[in-house]
Amino acid sequence: MNETLRIAREVACEAAAAAGKLAKEHFDRDKEVMAKGNQGDLVTAIDHLAEKEILNRLQERFPDHRIRSEESGWSGAESDWLWLVDPLDGTNNYAIGLPAYGVSLTLIYRGKPLLGVIYDSQLENLYVAEQGKGALCNGLPIRVKTSAAAGRMTLGWIQGHDVGKGGQATSLKHHLDAGSKRVLSLWAPTLLWSMLARGDLDGIVLYNSEGEDLYSGLLLAKEAGAAVVDFDGRPFEGMNSEPYIVACPPDRLESLLSMVRAGLGE
């Protein structure tokens, strides 16, 4: 397993950087934007080009691994090893010329994320997290912010495409807006996880958003020292098709959980 992870880390870093640089090269060009689904989501030609760049590398080096990718779905035979691939996290931003987008790759073994690679395509920052080995940005260790100084928090908000507007999610977000300094909703979740891991956010609240971009960010946050729990305060482990998550430095956990529970009317 150690040798598999060593090679996987090398291949994933190369693939993510190649896909991210491809997207950046086309950022100011015609992106051939198309509708995707009925929730206002988009896809561009670059999503497919970046995905092909990644899948070609993974399939060549790991022909026995299963892959689930954002655009093409499932490929490969059943396996203990699963790659999750989002070749262009933040497509809606990319399509309107907002430079906040990236690449996400996660390697999972028997339902447990072991390796996460995130590439901030515009800034060309490479984030890597391997279970039990810490979190890195461009080869340097990063940690969550651990100061519990008084003051309102700056938070990230992530919700699933199918959650929609209104209802409990909107009420919770409004409550967080009122009780914090700022709530960022970037439509590029991996960039929010990267911000938390390097100490630029005080926490993230995620409302039912599971997908190819989730587990690389979760692993990065954990390896950078974040507490990651569900809305009931239980440690979030493995995978979940309908996750509700609070992630923050451990010394912020009690206050952020209290805000979330109040926003849920508990």
The response to whether 177 counts as a known ligand-binding position is: no
The response to whether 213 counts as a known ligand-binding position is: yes
pLDDT at position 266, please? 75
CATH 3.40.190.80 fits 154-263, yes or no: yes
The pLDDT tens digits for 172-184 are 999 999 999 999 9
Residues of the chain with pLDDT > 90: what percent? Answer: 84
The response to whether 88 counts as a known ligand-binding position is: yes
Q: Average model confidence (pLDDT) for the chain?
A: 93
- Measured between alpha carbons, how far is 153 from 148 in angstroms, rounded to an integer? 10
Q: Where exactly are the structural domains of the chain?
A: 2-141, 154-263
Coil, helix or strand at residue 152: coil
Give every CB contact of residue 218 below 8 A, 6+ residues apart in sequence: 113, 116, 193, 228, 236, 245, 247
The pLDDT tens digits for 72-100 are 999 999 999 999 999 999 999 999 999 99
Residues of the chain with pLDDT > 70: what percent? Answer: 94
The response to whether 64 counts as a known ligand-binding position is: no
The response to whether 206 counts as a known ligand-binding position is: no
Region 105-129: what's the mean pLDDT?
A: 98
Are 245 and 155 spatial neighbours (Cβ–Cβ below 8 Å)? Answer: no
CATH number given to 2-141: 3.30.540.10
